[in-house]
Structure 1
Amino acid sequence: MSRIGRSTAAALVSAVALAVLGGCTVQAPDADGKQRSPVHIRLPGSSGAAGPAAPEPGSATPALTPPHVLWTRGDSGTDIRELQARLRQIGWLFDGPTGTYDDLTEQAVKGFQRKRGLPQTGETDAVTWQRLLGMTHEPGKWELYLMGGQPAAAPDPRCLTGRVLCISKTSRTLRWMIDGRTVSTMAVRFGARYTPTREGVFHIYWKSRHHVSTLYDSPMPYAMFFSGGQAVHYSYDFAARGYAGGSHGCVNVRDEAAIADLFAQVRNGDKVVVHR
């Protein structure tokens, strides 16, 4: 899970900003408007002391305390999804948002830090986050779930019996269901404007593990055909570009491991329901 929530992150950012502007102290006025003793800013995890005394003339300058780390590799959650969406806005990340702080996110943060003269740790600390906030806008739902991952829509009533690939165009997800029980879900995308994916009830009539389209000369791994030339299959383009692209009518899956497992379970004759 992410180390801290968004509200805590915002508080930390404010604290860092005050620390930078006021040398880690701010002068807080009394009710009568007069200045009282300095108020020291303390980040989470510090001892609460006012800090080391000023060095004596000629003594070595004490080392600065590194900024507080908000998120690092291995963390996950909605905060990480927002971080990834903001990195995408300024061209430092092309995968995701996935909600998991993976190696690609770490490299993107390092690049962002290097460009701005910050320590290249790959961790998102309070200073890095403040700089990123200043250069990006609040991501909307579309940006946060650009690569899929949104909750699957409720199953269509036609999906509640038998073995069914229950595919929702609204949530852009596929549910693999057996007798009303959801076995797995995965993000999908559909046909482009002039080559829409057909809606209705169909059945898998042919499976082709290493299929290549004879019409478009493009690979369609793990293809499971359900309506003419339309199939559920893995898409390298979807994995790389997300919803920026589209298919020629097929149902594209971006998670190769997920569709490989699905391909092994689905049989010819299994039902396919494509619905809104």
Structure 2
Amino acid sequence: MRDIARRAAVAAGVTGLVAPLTLALTAAPAQAASCTTQAGPYQKQVEKFLGRPVDGKQSTADCKAIQGFQTKYGITPSIGYAGSVTWGVMDLMNKQKAVGNKPNKDGKCPTNKGRIACVNLSLQISWIQDGSKLVYGPVPVRTGRDGYETRTGLKKIYWRDIDHVSTLYNVAMPYSQFFDGGQAFHSVALTMWTPPGSHGCVNMTPTVAKKYWSLLKTGDDVFVYGRKPGT
């Protein structure tokens, strides 16, 4: 199903090349909502991720730091509560960073297909390889949410449309490269960690979508595997 990128007003920002993923973790809301005084179930983990004193107790400074993170990545409600959604995004970021420049270390994406775009749903990353050689990435991506999962398996790019607009929802899908029944790589104006996910497409930042457009062509293979957290 074609992704509608329904929330299309959040600024995106992440780039990736043949290098470990880097994360921008500093942000503060222009107009903050009220902060909660309640410590969340993932308080210590969130404190550690944000470089706060790890004591498991909610402070005003803790709340403002958590709230800034939530606002940056579209996590609602952004009240500074260290809950499962907030920690889930942070945990995913940690796992993406740990991949470094070896995204196919497990060998699950085929190395006998020549140029191929790989998508690891479990880690929400994608990259392009040629045989066993890494060509571009890994980069964070945003795939289908629960009920709209990005379908797994070996596929091929069958249609490309640089200025595509969804005829169903009248939403722009720049740099679309379709590979499975309306599911496509394309650019969105969201961060790659904004929950809950797409409507099936593999969302990318504009920089990454443009790079994929330049590196791939009709007929190139795409391999999707794993399972997106929360689906």
- How far apart in 1 are the matches of 2:94 and 2:187? 14
| Identity percentage of aligned residues | 26
Counterpart residue identity of residue 245, structure 1: P
| Alignment pair present for 1:272 and 2:219 | no
1:248 corresponds in structure 2 to 199
2:72 corresponds in structure 1 to 95
Shift of 1:171: 1.1
Q: Is there any run of 5+ residues in structure 2 with no aligned partner, and where?
A: 1-21, 27-48, 53-61, 74-79, 227-231
Matches within 5 A, 1:24-63: none
1:164 corresponds in structure 2 to 116
- How far apart in 2 are the matches of 1:162 and 1:153? 14
C-alpha offsets along residues 123-152 of structure 1, whole Å, 9 cap, x if unaligned?
A: xxxxxxxxx9xx979x85642545994324
Aligned residues of 1:206 and 1:224 also touching (Cα < 8 A): yes
Higher share in helix? 1
Q: Which has the larger radius of gyration?
A: 1
Aligned residues of 1:192 and 1:247 also touching (Cα < 8 A): yes
**For the structure 1 residues 84 and 273, does the alpha-carbon distance in structure 2 shift closer, same or farther, using more than 3 Å as the test?**
farther
2:72 match: secondary structure: coil
Aligned residues of 1:207 and 1:223 also touching (Cα < 8 A): yes
C-alpha offsets along residues 196-249 of structure 1, whole Å, 9 cap, x if unaligned?
A: 11111000011111111111221111110001111011121345xx23132111
Task: Pick one of 126, 146, 151 that aligns with 1:193.
Answer: 146
1:257 match: secondary structure: helix
1:261 corresponds in structure 2 to 211
1:230 corresponds in structure 2 to 183
Q: Aligned Cα RMSD in Å?
A: 3.6
Counterpart residue identity of residue 83, structure 1: L
Aligned residues of 2:25 and 2:69 also touching (Cα < 8 A): no
2:90 corresponds in structure 1 to 143
Counterpart residue identity of residue 207, structure 2: A
Counterpart residue identity of residue 162, structure 1: G
1:94 match: secondary structure: helix
Shift of 1:166: 0.7
Does 1 or 2 have the higher relative contact order (CA < 8 Å, sep 6+)?
2
- How far apart in 1 are the matches of 2:217 and 2:151? 21
- How far apart in 2 are the matches of 1:272 and 1:259? 15
Counterpart residue identity of residue 216, structure 1: Y
| Alignment pair present for 1:214 and 2:167 | yes
C-alpha offsets along residues 92-149 of structure 1, whole Å, 9 cap, x if unaligned?
A: 66336xxxxxxxxxxxxxxxxxxxxxxxxxxxxxxxxxxx9xx979x85642545994
Shift of 1:83: 3.3
Q: Which moved more, 1:204-213 or 1:141-150?
A: 141-150
- How far apart in 2 are the matches of 1:149 and 1:258? 16
Counterpart residue identity of residue 90, structure 1: Q
Aligned residues of 1:212 and 1:218 also touching (Cα < 8 A): yes
- How far apart in 2 are the matches of 1:188 and 1:233? 10
2:110 match: secondary structure: helix
Aligned residues of 2:109 and 2:118 also touching (Cα < 8 A): no
2:132 corresponds in structure 1 to 180
Q: Is there any run of 5+ residues in structure 1 with no aligned partner, and where?
A: 1-76, 97-131
1:236 match: secondary structure: coil
**For the structure 1 residues 196 and 144, does the alpha-carbon distance in structure 2 shift closer, same or farther, using more than 3 Å as the test?**
closer
